[in-house]
Amino acid sequence: MNRFKSILIVILILFSVKISAQKIPDGLYFVSGNEINQITVLNRRDGSIKATFDTYRGTSEMAFSLLKSVPDSYESVDTKESYILTKKNNLLTLLILGDMNLVVKKEVMAISKKELKAAKKQLGIKSELSKELGSLWGKKKKKEEEKGPLEYFVKDATSDFHQKNVGKIVFFSKEPTVGKEDISTIKTDFKIGDEIWGVAYFPAKIKDSYYLRRLSNRFQDNFGRNHYWITIGMDKMEKDLLPKENEVVNQCTVKRLKKADLEKNYAVFQIVPSSIANMKIDKDGASFLLGRMGERLDPYKHGLRISLTDGKMDQEDELYFGTITYDTTEGTEDLIMMAKEIEEGALKGKRAPTAVKHNADLEAEMMQQIELWANTKDWPGVKFHKVIITLDWQILRDDYGNITGNYVEGDVLYSDDEGCGYRNFGFLKPYLGNGQYDENIRQHTIGHRGELSCDKVK
């Protein structure tokens, strides 16, 4: 009977441990590394944790709340840095996260120094002393080996596939649905005529990361509206070419982002359409990218590196990239032809600027000022056709509120050897004082320019 009771008690204990697997047991834990000596864990009634850190600087306390999206994990509350208590390879681990939830420091925790030593070995954590000795002994490694693979802690992965591919661009032959990816459409080997899609799997929401916000290429227009884009760089990987010779495009827009897209921790974008009919890539970007690919890819099989970039990054700063093979043995002229068709279609769809008012005398005076500017700035071979008033008179003031003049804008329609378009100019009637303005306008600012089909500028 006593033996039966003992077995039953053991079974109940094992069952209890299993039920509370998500709970980190109360107690004092030794910590790897030199900055934190010990951490005392105390579970609270609401399911959160109070943790007391014993460091070389003294004692500090933190609250940790349960992360519902990640099993066996807790996140620090109201702290400057993000701390995570989690299980890694069945070991209790403390992570310190940086931008994009990048793991910048990883420490293992154990209830005894003997267990700590074994846990450090299991996770491959070296002591600070061995790191210093390694440096003193002059052990040199390649830059990639020194840096090591980047490790992220993903709080809201859309799927296991997302979790496994975080920090990467994965390529597909059809438009994918994130969270329900069709594995059969994943490819790295393409040829001209194939459709190419990319998905960048992020460890954090775009809006929550400085680096990812940088990749969104935020631009604020004159009306205070924010615009966002996903842009890619594309390079050949030919060892016998110089970096500039390998470049296909430094930066090309493939997708315009909406504000809701900034709440996502991934980006889906088309890179190459199989035809104009199924094109979802940004039209201007498609024309530029396909044209460059047709011109710069010789007729053989290429290795291509495709990255997310803001155009100013060196390759080592481009954290999201992937590689594919692209067979251009035949059909580069098809890429160039598609680029021209897209460009022509985009031009036909663009509208000429809209007039806010008509005033023949003011339009003539604007044209005179524009022609004077063009002669001064050496804009040769251009023919000006018409000025459209696009902004009515506005009072301009300096930083102190003093009136500087009366301001108006107009867009001039022009044609030259490269095609047709419009360009924005601002004009000012300087303020003379006592409510009086100069009778004549002066060219004051130069604004944006845009392309138009030539039938719209006559």
CA atoms within 13 A on the CB side of 155: 21
What are 384-398's pLDDT values in tens digits? 999 999 999 999 999
- The yes-or-no verdict on residue 141 having pLDDT over 80 is no
Residue that has been written with the tokens 């994009």 in this structure: 100
Nearest alpha carbon to residue 388 among 431, 341, 422, 437? 422
Nearest alpha carbon to residue 263 among 158, 187, 163, 131? 158
- For residue 406, give every residue at least 6 positions away whose Cβ sits within 8 Å of its Cβ, in sequence order, or none: 393, 394, 395, 396, 428, 429, 431, 437
Length of the chain in terms of residues written: 458
- The yes-or-no verdict on residue 164 having pLDDT over 90 is yes
Taking a C-beta distance cutoff of 8 angstroms, is the pair 424, 409 a contact? yes
Higher pLDDT, 131 or 166: 166
**pTM (2 d.p.):** 0.74
Residue 256 and residue 261: Cα distance in Å, rounded?
10
Residue that has been written with the tokens 């509350």 in this structure: 77
What are 6-34's pLDDT values in tens digits? 444 433 334 333 334 458 999 999 999 88
108, β-bridge pairs: 93
Mean pLDDT of the chain: 88
Residue 48 and residue 67: Cα distance in Å, rounded?
10
pLDDT (mean) for 399-404: 93
Residue 421 and residue 414: Cα distance in Å, rounded?
6
Q: What is the pLDDT of residue 221?
A: 75
Residue 215 and residue 224: Cα distance in Å, rounded?
20
Higher pLDDT, 306 or 16: 306
Edge-first strand listing for the sheet containing 266-272: 169-172, 196-201, 266-272
The CB density around residue 305, as the number of other CB atoms within 10 Å, is: 17
Residue 296 and residue 247: Cα distance in Å, rounded?
8
3-state secondary structure of 109: strand
Helix axes 332-349, 283-296, angle to 10 degrees: 150
pLDDT (mean) for 70-83: 93
Taking a C-beta distance cutoff of 8 angstroms, is the pair 421, 446 a contact? no
According to CATH, where is 3.10.450 located in the chain? 360-451
Residue 101 and residue 153: Cα distance in Å, rounded?
6
Q: Residue 75 to residues 155, 181, 279: CA-CA distances in angstroms?
A: 10, 29, 42
What are 339-380's pLDDT values in tens digits? 999 988 888 888 899 999 999 999 999 999 999 999 888 777
103, β-bridge pairs: 97
CA dihedral 388, 393, 397, 403 (to 10 degrees): 130
- pLDDT-derived band at 143 (thresholds 50, 70, 90) equals very low
Indicate the CATH number for domain 360-451: 3.10.450
Given this structure, which CATH class describes domain 27-133? mainly beta
Extended beta strands in 371-441, E state: 383-397, 403-416, 419-433, 436-437
CB contact burial 332-357 (16+ within 10 A = b; e otherwise): beebbebbeebbeebbeeeebbeeee
Q: What is the pLDDT of residue 40?
A: 97
